[in-house]
Amino acid sequence: LYVSNATGYLVQEAYSLDFISATADSIGKNMQTLAGVSANGFSTEGFYVGFLLLLILVLGVYVAYTGLIKRETTKAIHAIMNFVLVFILSASFIAYAPDYIKKINDFSSDISNASLSLGTKIVMPHS
């Protein structure tokens, strides 16, 4: 019984040591720095900004081939809309990455604590 209580205590303490929430801001800022996107807009450096011109060039070639040569304008328009949608959604996620990481971590932590509490009640109902 004492070993079970000690194990339960150690697991509970392990769940209370939340390393991600302490570093979530740093993780988010590093994502923004690597991508070159922040809440203030785009910077001159970063992978996201660096590859943007190349991606637009590839999209333009695809749209020109699909729309002009194959005469599938609907498919070309869908490709443009998909590119713009993915661009906006991914840029907005990266711009607010620290907030999103904290919220996702809080949600995960709440689920972990609830499952630990429920497991403790099942294993030791009178404690």
Full pLDDT tens readout for the chain, 127 residues? 566 667 766 666 666 656 667 788 888 888 899 999 988 888 888 888 888 889 999 999 999 999 888 999 999 999 999 999 999 999 999 999 888 888 888 888 788 778 777 877 777 777 6
pLDDT in tens, 50-60: 888 899 999 99
Per DSSP, the residues of the chain read -HHHHHHHHHHHHHHH--HHHHHHHHHHHHHHHHHTEETTEE-SSSHHHHHHHHHHHHHHHHHHIIIIIS--HHHHHHHHHHHHHHHHHHHHHHHTHHHHHHHHHHHHHHHHHHHHHHHHHHH-TT-
pLDDT in tens, 18-30: 666 778 888 888 8
